[in-house]
């Protein structure tokens, strides 16, 4: 399992490979995003309308103020001043209200979309073939559902709000400025994009520095991981100083790389601000010059309509116009990031689920006969694992599967439970091919205890009740007593209400395994699978729970995979597996007498 992400969810993958996604991939993702948003057509339309409203009135405010200033400078009467001030005030309020409405709508659209995407993702995850889950990093899938979906939300919200209003502002300002004076507008139009170029220039130069920084950071993280994860060994060998020295060496390099990256990238703001200052100064220069000319009686087209008021409007527009320009690169990268993140989430959602249960017959009241006929199976086509496996188990038989690691023991369990489908041949329960019955009825015919002691976050009681939520507290306690789990649960601070898992009480491996056994006890189906069910429990405790296992297995078909041969001796049939095939079959005494691989395995224990 990859790095634990409970405390720290990396904010998406900033280094999402742009090229890997590709232009066409980006477009198809965009179409999918739009498709998801189509349910919100009306709110989005409203939001756009509000954006237009807010931009237009934002641009009107300086114009009204400019008129007032004209009136002041020419000393005209109080009425036009009052009217224009009223207009400015009303416009400002309209801007405020429409912006807020827009924020509310975007907020709602974004979070509802992300909620639905997450729900869809989890639905897919619960129906993904185990093959997919086994072969993909869980950390990666989790980060797609959490971090990527989150960054998608952020990017969508920001993109929604800023890209649209930004473009509207640029267009609106241009139109308003052109109507006032073409020459000054040209000055603004020519100078402002400079800031965009500078920002681009700096970010392309700093890209390498940020990459260097993340390389050093990665190196440092792996040292931390290695050394803190094994702090006990470090201490046992008195190596603290050496390890620290190695850490410091990387730390030093990281500091240098960080300083470069941070400093050079932080030049963007001062530089664009400088460009803006130049633009502002140029507007002041040309505007004042024209105003002087206009006041001096010149009425050429160049200077038409230039007054003190229009000059202030231009100055304030010069500021407003540059803002979306300065933000545009961050908005674009945010949007690109959001699309890349969306693509990663969609990849999960669109993953092919398990083949659906076809005609969906349900297994009911089964006797527990299992037939495996000529089964071939492999995880990867190039490496065959199980070939020509045949096995016929009568109801109530106890089947033990033994053999060295990697011989395919657990694979048989995967096939029996239909976590994986066979490549060839068939597995039948009570004569029914398991591919013809519903997965849920097949799986609920088996009680399963796996080597992997997975427990859900929650209380002990919740976990024991996992497959049988309606069980009473008495039944829970009864089951725990039967497996001996009761004795350790009794000693926990809140007994059956003790919360385990993330942030809760840590249980030992053996205790977890006892709980897994108890979980099955509560509701025992006609067939049992015990895959190394007691591997983490010491032999003495194991002996004690053997009795309850024996009771459990009476009259039930059971499959027992075990490492320790002492636990399989009592089985009716022992299958000895090697390299995906059954090489010996029989009960303990026959196999031992035969003097084959089993007796070799058995005797090597001593």
Partner 1 sequence: MKRLLRYLKNYKIQCVLAPLFKMLEALFELFVPLVIAALIDRISDYSASGDAGFVVRCFILLIILGVVGLISSCTAQFFAARAATGFSKELRHDLFATLLDLDYPQIDGLGTSTMITRMTADVNTAQNGVNMFLRLFLRSPFIVAGAVVMAFTIDVRSALIFVAVVAVLFVTVGLIMRYNIPMLKRVQSKLDKVLDFTRENLSGARVIRAFNVESDRQAGFEAANEVLSQDQRRAGRISGLLNPLTYVIINLAIVMLIGVGNIQVAQGRLTTGQVVALYNYMSQILLELIKFANLVVTINRALASANRISEVFGLEEGPAANATGQPAARGDEASARTDSASEASEWAVEFDDVSLRYHEGSDEALSNISFKVKRGETIGVIGGTGSGKTSLINMIPGFYTATSGTVKVDGEDVKCVDAHELRSRIGIVPQKAVLFDGTIAENLRWGNASATDSELEEAVRMAVAMDVVEAKGGLDAHIEPGGKNLSGGQRQRLTIARALVKKPDILILDDSSSALDNVTDRRLRENIRRMDPGTTVFIVSQRSSSVRDADRIIVMDDGVMAGIGTHAELMESCAVYREIYESQFGREEG
- Segment 299-328, which members bind partner 1 (CB under 8 A)? 308, 311-312, 315-316, 319
Residue 95 engages partner 1 in binding (rule: CB under 8 A): yes
C-alpha 484/C-alpha 186 separation (Å) is 85
Residue 100 engages partner 1 in binding (rule: CB under 8 A): yes
Other CB atoms within 10 A of residue 532 CB: 20
Instruction: Report the residue from 31, 45, 186, 281 that binds partner 1 according to the rule CB under 8 A.
Output: 281
First to last CA, the chain: 35
C-alpha 469/C-alpha 244 separation (Å) is 51
Residue 439 engages partner 1 in binding (rule: CB under 8 A): yes
C-alpha 110/C-alpha 153 separation (Å) is 6
Residue 186 engages partner 1 in binding (rule: CB under 8 A): no
Instruction: Report the residue from 32, 36, 150, 435 that binds partner 1 according to the rule CB under 8 A.
Output: 150
- Residue showing tokens 């392309």: 204
Identify which of residues 150 and 373 has a Cβ nearer to partner 1 in the complex: 150
Residue 600 engages partner 1 in binding (rule: CB under 8 A): no
Identify which of residues 337 and 447 has a Cβ nearer to partner 1 in the complex: 447
Instruction: Report the residue from 52, 227, 499, 583 that binds partner 1 according to the rule CB under 8 A.
Output: 227
Identify which of residues 336 and 541 has a Cβ nearer to partner 1 in the complex: 541
Tokens encoding 592: 């031992």
Residue 207 engages partner 1 in binding (rule: CB under 8 A): no
C-alpha 21/C-alpha 23 separation (Å) is 7
User: Among candidates 195, 337, 353, which has minimal Cα distance to 278?
Assistant: 195
Cα distances (angstroms) measured from residue 89 to each of 72, 76, 168: 18, 20, 22
Residue 201 engages partner 1 in binding (rule: CB under 8 A): no
Residue 473 engages partner 1 in binding (rule: CB under 8 A): no
Q: Kindly identify the residues of this chain, within the stretch 372-411, that bind partner 1 according to CB under 8 A.
A: none
C-alpha 290/C-alpha 303 separation (Å) is 5
Sign of CA dihedral 435, 439, 442, 443: positive
Identify which of residues 21 and 267 has a Cβ nearer to partner 1 in the complex: 267
| Total number of residues that touch partner 1 (CB under 8 A) | 150
* Closest separation in Å from C-beta 262 to partner 1: 4
C-alpha 247/C-alpha 227 separation (Å) is 10
Contact letters (x/-) for partner 1, 494-533, by CB under 8 A? --------x-----xxxx----------------------
Q: Kindly identify the residues of this chain, within the stretch 353-372, that bind partner 1 according to CB under 8 A.
A: none
Q: What is residue 534's three-state secondary structure?
A: coil
Residue 73 engages partner 1 in binding (rule: CB under 8 A): yes
Residue 251 engages partner 1 in binding (rule: CB under 8 A): yes
Instruction: Report the residue from 61, 339, 400, 517 that binds partner 1 according to the rule CB under 8 A.
Output: 61
Piece of the chain touching partner 1 by CB under 8 A; list 176-184, 192-200, 370-378, 536-544: 536-544
Task: Give phi and psi for 11, each to the nearest 5.
Answer: -70, 80
Instruction: Report the residue from 19, 381, 491, 589 that binds partner 1 according to the rule CB under 8 A.
Output: 491
User: Among candidates 283, 306, 285, which has minimal Cα distance to 191?
Assistant: 283
Residue 229 engages partner 1 in binding (rule: CB under 8 A): yes
Identify which of residues 192 and 511 has a Cβ nearer to partner 1 in the complex: 511
Contact call for residues 463 and 515 (beta carbons, < 8 A)? yes
Extract the runs of DSSP E, i.e. beta strands, from 441-526.
446-449, 458-459, 499-500
* Closest separation in Å from C-beta 27 to partner 1: 28
Residue 80 engages partner 1 in binding (rule: CB under 8 A): no
Residue 16 engages partner 1 in binding (rule: CB under 8 A): no
* Closest separation in Å from C-beta 137 to partner 1: 10
Tokens encoding 282: 């140029």
Piece of the chain touching partner 1 by CB under 8 A; list 29-37, 77-85, 191-199, 380-388: 77-85
Piece of the chain touching partner 1 by CB under 8 A; list 38-46, 113-121, 203-211, 384-392: 113-121
Piece of the chain touching partner 1 by CB under 8 A; list 60-68, 363-371, 427-435, 592-600: 60-68
Q: What is the CA angle 313-316-318, rounded to 5?
A: 105
Contact call for residues 455 and 502 (beta carbons, < 8 A)? no
C-alpha 286/C-alpha 181 separation (Å) is 11
Tokens encoding 145: 């559902």
C-alpha 132/C-alpha 120 separation (Å) is 17
Q: How many residues does the chain have?
A: 606
Instruction: Report the residue from 428, 450, 581, 583 that binds partner 1 according to the rule CB under 8 A.
Output: 450
Residue 535 engages partner 1 in binding (rule: CB under 8 A): no
Identify which of residues 541 and 599 has a Cβ nearer to partner 1 in the complex: 541
């Amino acid at each position: 399992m990859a790095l634990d992400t409970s405390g720290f969810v990396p904010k998406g993958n900033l280094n999402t490979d742009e090229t890997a996604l590709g232009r066409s991939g980006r477009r198809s993702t965009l179409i999918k995003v739009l498709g998801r948003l189509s349910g919100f057509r009306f709110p989005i339309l409203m939001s756009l309308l509000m954006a237009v409203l807010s931009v237009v009135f934002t641009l009107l405010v300086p114009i009204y103020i400019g008129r007032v200033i004209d009136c002041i400078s020419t000393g005209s009467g109080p009425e036009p001043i009052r009217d224009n001030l009223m207009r400015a005030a009303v416009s400002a309020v309209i801007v405020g209200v429409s912006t807020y409405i827009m924020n509310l709508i975007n907020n709602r659209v974004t979070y509802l979309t992300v909620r639905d995407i997450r729900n869809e993702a989890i639905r897919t995850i619960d129906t993904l073939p185990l093959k997919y889950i086994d072969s993909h990093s869980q950390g990666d899938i989790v980060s797609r559902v959490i971090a990527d979906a989150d960054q998608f939300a952020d990017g969508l919200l920001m993109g929604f709000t800023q890209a649209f209003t930004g473009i509207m502002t640029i267009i609106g300002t241009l139109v308003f400025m052109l109507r006032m004076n073409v020459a000054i507008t040209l000055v603004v139009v020519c100078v402002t994009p400079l800031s965009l170029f500078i920002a681009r220039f700096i970010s392309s130069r700093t890209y390498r520095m940020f990459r260097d920084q993340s390389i050093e950071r990665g190196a440092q993280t792996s040292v931390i991981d290695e050394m803190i994860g094994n702090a006990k060994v470090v201490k046992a060998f008195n190596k603290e100083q050496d390890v620290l020295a190695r850490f410091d060496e990387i730390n030093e390099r990281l500091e240098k790389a960080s300083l470069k990256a941070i400093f050079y990238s932080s030049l963007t703001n001062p530089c664009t601000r400088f460009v803006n200052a130049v633009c502002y100064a140029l507007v002041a220069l040309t505007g004042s010059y024209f105003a002087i000319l206009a006041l001096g009686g010149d009425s050429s087209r160049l200077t038409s309509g230039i007054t003190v008021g229009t000059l202030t409007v231009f100055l304030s527009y010069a500021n407003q116009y540059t803002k979306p320009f300065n933000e545009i690169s961050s908005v674009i990268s945010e949007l690109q990031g959001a699309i890349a993140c969306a693509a990663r989430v969609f990849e999960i959602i669109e993953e092919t689920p398990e083949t659906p249960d076809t005609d969906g017959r349900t297994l009911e009241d089964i006797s527990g006969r299992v037939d495996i006929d000529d089964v071939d199976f492999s995880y990867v086509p190039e490496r065959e694992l199980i070939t020509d496996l045949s096995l016929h188990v009568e109801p109530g038989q106890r089947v033990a599967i033994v053999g060295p690691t990697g011989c395919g023991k657990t694979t048989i369990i995967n096939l029996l439970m239909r976590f994986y489908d066979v490549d060839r041949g068939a597995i039948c329960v009570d004569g029914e091919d398991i591919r013809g019955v519903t997965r849920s009825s097949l799986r609920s015919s088996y009680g399963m205890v796996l080597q992997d002691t997975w427990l859900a976050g929650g209380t002990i009681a919740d976990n024991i009740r996992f497959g049988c939520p309606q069980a009473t507290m008495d039944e829970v306690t009864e089951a725990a007593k039967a497996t001996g789990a009761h004795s350790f649960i009794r000693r926990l601070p809140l007994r059956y209400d003790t919360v385990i898992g993330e942030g809760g009480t840590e249980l030992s491996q053996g205790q977890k395994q006892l709980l897994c056994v108890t979980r099955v006890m509560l509701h025992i189906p006609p067939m049992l699978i015990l895959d190394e069910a007691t591997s983490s429990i010491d032999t003495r405790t194991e002996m004690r729970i053997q009795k309850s296992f024996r009771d459990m297995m009476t009259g039930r078909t059971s499959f027992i995979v075990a490492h320790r041969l002492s636990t399989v001796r009592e089985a009716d049939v022992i299958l000895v597996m090697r390299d995906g095939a059954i090489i010996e079959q029989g009960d303990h005494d026959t196999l031992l007498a035969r003097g084959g691989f089993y007796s070799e395995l058995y005797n090597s224990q001593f």
